[in-house]
Structure 1
Amino acid sequence: MGDLIKQLKPQTPGQEEMLIALTNKKYDIVGLFGPTGSGKSLFSLLYGVDAIITGEYKRFVISRPIIDVTSGKEVSAAELGDMYYKIVLNYVNDILSDYIDINKIRELVDAGKIIVADTHYLRGRTFDDAIIFLDDAHSVPVESAIEILTRIGRNSRLIIAGDPVFQRELGSRDGASLLRELLLGEESARVVDLGLKDIVRPGARKGVRLLLETKLRTRKLKESEKMVIDAARIRAPDAEIVTVVEFIDEKKIVGLKTETMPDALIIVKEGHAGRVIGKGGERITGLENDTGLRLRAVELTLDFKPLIRALHPIGWIHKHIVDADFAGPDLLVKVNSEAYPAFVGQKGSHIRFLDLVMRRLLNTGVKVIEVEEKAEEKEKGEKGKEKKKESRSENK
Structure 2
Amino acid sequence: MLEATSTGRFQLPLPDSDAANALAGAGQKTLKRIEALTGASVVMRGLQLEISGPSSKLERAAGLIELIRPLWAEGQTISRIDLEAALISLDTGKKEDHLELGNQIIARGDRGKLLRPRTLRQKAYLDAMEKNDLTFSLGPAGTGKTFLATVLAVRMLTERKIQRIILTRPAVEAGERLGFLPGDLQQKVDPYLRPLYDALHTLFGLEKTTNLLEKGTIEVAPLAYMRGRTLDDAFVILDEAQNTTSAQMRMALTRLGERSRMVVTGDITQIDLPSGQLSGLVEAIKVLDNIDGIAICRLTSSDVVRHHLVQKVVDAYEKRVKQ
TM-score class, shorter: 0.5 to 0.7
Structure 2 vs 1, CA of residues 165 and 85 (structure 1 numbering), >3 Å: closer, same or farther?
Answer: closer
2:275 aligned with 1:196, yes or no? no
Once residues 56 and 87 of structure 1 are traced to their aligned partners in structure 2, the CA distance between those partners, rounded to angstroms, is 30
The residue number in structure 2 matching 1:157 is 261
Q: 1:102 to 1:207 in 2, by over 3 A?
A: farther
Residues 314-359 of structure 1, C-alpha deviations (whole Å, 9 max, x = no match): xxxxxxxxxxxxxxxxxxxxxxxxxxxxxxxxxxxxxxxxxxx95x
1:129 maps to 2:233: yes
Deviation (angstroms), 1:7: 3.1
Choose from 33, 49, 66 the match for 2:138. 33
Of 180, 200, 203, the residue aligned with 2:285 is 180
| Alignment partner of 1:14 out of 121, 125, 128 | 121
Report if the CA contact (8 A) 2:107-2:151 is conserved: no
Contact 2:146 2:239 in 1 (8 A): yes
Asked if structure 1 preserves the Cα contact closer than 8 Å seen for 2:271 and 2:279, the reply is: no
Provide the C-alpha distance between the structure 1 equivalents of 2:189 and 2:272, rounded to a whole number of angstroms: 25
SS at match of 1:159: strand
- Runs (4+) of structure 1 exceeding 6 A deviation are 74-80
Change (3 A) 1:75 1:142: farther
Cα distance in 2 between the residues matched to 1:95 and 1:190 = 23
Amino acid corresponding to residue 64 of structure 1 in structure 2: R
Unaligned runs of 5+ in 1: 213-301, 308-356, 362-396
Q: Which moved more, 1:55-64 or 1:90-99?
A: 90-99
After TM superposition, give the deviation of residue 198 of structure 1 in Å.
1.6
Counterparts in 2 of 1:50 and 1:76: CA distance versus 1, 3 Å: farther
- Aligned-partner Cα distance in 2 for 1:190–1:89: 25
CA contact (8 A) 1:65 1:74 kept: no
Relative distance call for 1:43 and 1:3 in structure 2 (3 A) is: closer
Shift of 1:76: 6.4
Identical positions, percent:
26
Given that 1:67 and 1:75 are in contact with CA atoms closer than 8 Å, whether structure 2 keeps it comes out as no
Paired residue for 1:107?
Answer: 211
| TM-score, scaled relative to structure 1 | 0.48
Spell out the pairing of 1:1-396 with structure 2 (5 A cutoff): 3-4=107-108, 7-24=114-131, 27-68=132-173, 73=175, 81-84=185-188, 86-87=190-191, 90-167=194-271, 172-202=277-307, 203-209=309-315, 212=317, 358=322
Q: 1:194 to 1:172 in 2, by over 3 A?
A: farther
**Amino acid aligned to 1:86:** D
**Equivalent position amino acid for 1:22 in 2:** M
Q: 1:77 to 1:208 in 2, by over 3 A?
A: farther
Bigger RCO of structures 1 and 2 (CA < 8 A, at least 6 apart): 2
Task: Give the direction of change, closer, same or farther, for the CA distance of 1:166–1:90 in structure 2 (3 Å limit).
Answer: closer
Structure-2 separation of matches of 1:77 and 1:197 = 40
In structure 1, distance between residues paired with 2:188 and 2:287: 29
Q: How many residues align?
A: 212
Q: Aligned equivalents of 2:240 and 2:231: distance in 1?
A: 20
Q: Distance in 2 between matches of 1:184 and 1:34?
A: 17
Post-superposition offset of 1:85 = 5.1
Match for 2:148: what amino acid? F
Q: Report the alpha carbon displacement of residue 54 of structure 1 after superposing the two structures with TM.
A: 2.3
Give the TM-score of the pair, scaled to structure 2: 0.58
The offset of 1:13, in angstroms, is 1.9
Q: Distance in 2 between matches of 1:9 and 1:187?
A: 27
Q: Matched residues in 2 for 1:77 and 1:145: separation? A: 24
Offset at residue 64 of structure 1 (A): 0.9
User: Matched residues in 1 for 2:143 and 2:219: separation?
Assistant: 25
What is the distance in 2 between the residues matched to 1:51 and 1:108? 15
Residue 125 of structure 1 deviates from its aligned partner by 0.7
CA distance in 1, matches of 2:232, 2:195: 25
Alignment check: 8 A CA contact 1:145 1:179 kept: yes
Name the structure 2 match of 1:291: none
CA deviation map 1:61-97 (0-9, x unaligned): 11112243xxx74876998612145335632232344
Contact 2:242–2:270 (Cα < 8 Å) also in 1? no
* CA distance in 1: counterparts of 2:277 and 2:160, whole angstroms: 41
What RMSD over aligned residues (CA atoms) do the two structures have, in Å? Answer: 3.0
Letter in 2 for 1:41: T
**Equivalent residue letter for 1:144:** Q
